[in-house]
């Protein structure tokens, strides 16, 4: 029995849940992980592009950096989540 009075099923806090390699946090929160990869890639490479563009007086490096970060994040997502 759980604290709510219902029997504990195979949910998140169930003591019978297997803690094997497939029970990691990546499966439950895959959507948030994908979203954070996309945002972090664009922010990191966009920031690097902005800094280098500011230093070289080339404003085109900011959007190039953001697109590069987006492409690399998509490649990482496909590599990490796209394989069985």
Domain count, the chain: 1
Q: Give residue 82's pLDDT band: very low, low, confident or very high (50, 70, 90).
A: confident
Burial of 46 (0-12, 13-18, 19+ CB in 10 A): buried
Q: What's the pTM value of the predicted model, to 2 decimals?
A: 0.65
Residue 56 scores a pLDDT above 90: yes
> Is 31 a domain residue?
no
> Is 8 a domain residue?
no
Domain range for 59 is 37-81
> Is 75 a domain residue?
yes
Residue 81 scores a pLDDT above 80: yes
> Is 7 a domain residue?
no
pLDDT value at residue 24: 52
Residue 69 scores a pLDDT above 70: yes
> Is 11 a domain residue?
no
> Is 23 a domain residue?
no
Radius of gyration of the chain (CA): 20
């Amino acid at each position: 029995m759980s604290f709510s009075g219902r029997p504990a099923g195979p949910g998140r806090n169930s003591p019978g849940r297997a803690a094997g390699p497939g029970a990691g946090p990546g499966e439950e929160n895959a959507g948030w992980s994908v979203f954070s990869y996309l945002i972090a890639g664009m922010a990191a490479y966009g920031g690097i592009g902005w800094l280098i563009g500011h230093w070289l007086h080339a404003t085109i490096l900011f959007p190039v950096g953001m697109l590069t970060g987006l492409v690399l994040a998509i490649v990482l997502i496909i590599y990490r989540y796209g394989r069985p």
